[in-house]
Amino acid sequence: MAKAIIKLAYKQVMDVSSSGDFEKNVLFASYQEFLLKSQVYNPEGKFKTFDELKANDGRANSLHYKLSFSVGHFIETLKGKIPHLTDNLGNSVVFETPKFELIASDLTTIDAHKVAITYTTPELTLLNSFGEYLVVASCNTTEGTEAEAFTIKMQDGLSIVNYQPLVQHHNLINI
Amino acid sequence: MPLTLNLLVVNTNDNCNVVTNARVDIWHCNKDGYYSGYSGQSGVLGTKSYVGETWLRGYQTSDGTGAVAFNTIYPGWYGGRATHIHFEIYVNSVLKKTTQLTFSETISDAVHKSSLYTGTVNTTRNANDGIFGNSATDLANETLSMAGSIAAGYVGTYTFGIAL
């Protein structure tokens, strides 16, 4: 019996130690954009790090979404599939919304540049859970009918970020 | 409503000679007054989130004649601001100008009253806007020159003078 409507989110952190073309492209493009877009929050050039920019002007938090535009076309190459996350059969998991975050950076070195993309799935039906494992299906399941499901292990970086319990209907027998 | 922007970048410290290879960024809201890229925006369609989306944002680099062009749409509007487009200009990776431009209210009102848009005119008039309303001169200097029509779309032109 379906338990809840959920959304899963997977957070991918990238920095200079990351391998893979996607990660390198995201890191490089977002750093170049940081060098440009941080200037409006650093008119005298006094600050070097993202933390310093934010401490001086809270509006520097806009850099999270301002930098996201520089990596949008790289995210499109993922074709809606969360990188490095698979279900128990090795199949990819689809995401609906990618959210970019600037974790840290430094105008003097890309080595300090650290970003993350959190990929959130569309609504899924949580059918069941066994220990670390979730059994989920796409949201258009109907009670009493067969549904295509997948099993996925909870792991570092993966969370349930939205949970809407389903009303459980119990069949009563009139005696 | 299609809007083509034909822009020129010149150096005010050099007899207004053209500036080549200037990066010009633009961004503006959609026909309903929402921006791509972030969440929690209130407006005529309620609260909207467009996280992860990039529409109506981009940049071009000025060519050998100092020109950049954008094919976009006429912006909608949102409460508290006159109709506008945001611009940033970088030369050799240095931010040289951050600014906004507005439009003739006659044209904006006609566009916004059309069936393509919300059907209502912007409640913030250009002269009352916090950015454009400092003076009539400022407003005139921060207004795109427009040509075109509702039927054919519009072309906006403007020359940015930056001091290099």
Say if A31 falls within a structural domain.
yes
Which among B38, B54, B88 has CB closest to A72?
A: B54
Say if A170 falls within a structural domain.
no
**pLDDT tens-place string over residues A95-154:** 999 999 999 999 999 999 999 999 999 999 999 999 999 999 986 666 667 778 999 999
**What pLDDT sits at residue A142?**
65
| Closest C-alpha among A31, A95, A102 to residue A65 | A102
| Closest C-alpha among B148, B147, B75 to residue B118 | B75
- Contact residues on chain A for B52, CB-CB shorter than 8 A: 68, 72, 75, 97-100
> Is residue B33's pLDDT more than 80?
yes
HEC readout, A114-169? EEEEEEECCCEEEEEEECCEEEEEECCCCCCCCCCEEEEECCCCEEEEEEEECCCC
**pLDDT tens-place string over residues B5-18:** 999 999 999 999 99
Say if A153 falls within a structural domain.
yes
Closest residue in chain B to residue A98, using alpha carbons only: B52
Host domain of residue A38: 4-165
Say if A172 falls within a structural domain.
no
Which among B37, B95, B98 has CB closest to A68?
A: B37
**What pLDDT sits at residue A155?**
96
Mean pLDDT of chain A: 92
Number of domains into which chain B is organized: 1
Q: Please enumerate residues of B whose Cβ is less than 8 A from a Cβ of A.
A: 23, 37-38, 51-52, 54, 57, 88, 90, 93-95, 98
Q: How crowded is the C-beta side of A31, counted as CA atoms within 13 Å?
A: 21
Host domain of residue B78: 2-162
**pLDDT tens-place string over residues B101-111:** 999 999 999 99
Q: Are strands A124-130 and A114-120 parallel, antiparallel or unpaired?
A: unpaired
**What pLDDT sits at residue A12?**
98
Say if A88 falls within a structural domain.
yes
**What pLDDT sits at residue B7?**
98
Apex B35 CA angle, B30 and B39, nearest 5: 140
C-beta atoms of A40 and B54 within 8 A: no
Distance of CA B152 to the CA centre of its chain: 19
**What pLDDT sits at residue A3?**
87
**pLDDT tens-place string over residues B36-95:** 998 999 999 999 999 988 999 999 999 999 999 999 999 999 999 999 999 999 999 999
Hey, what are A117's tokens? 């993309």
User: In CATH, what number is assigned to the domain containing residue B97?
Assistant: 2.60.130.10
Kindly report the pTM of this predicted structure.
0.89
Which among B38, B54, B95 has CB closest to A36?
A: B95
Number of domains into which chain A is organized: 1
ipTM: 0.88
Q: Are strands A158-165 and A149-153 parallel, antiparallel or unpaired?
A: unpaired
Say if A35 falls within a structural domain.
yes
Residues A134 and A53: their CA atoms lie apart, in Å, by: 41
- Contact residues on chain B for A40, CB-CB shorter than 8 A: 88, 95, 98
What would the mean pLDDT of A45-74 be, rounded to a whole number?
A: 95
| Closest C-alpha among A106, A84, A94, A68 to residue A18 | A84
Which among B23, B54, B95 has CB closest to A40?
A: B95
Residues B5 and B79: their CA atoms lie apart, in Å, by: 24
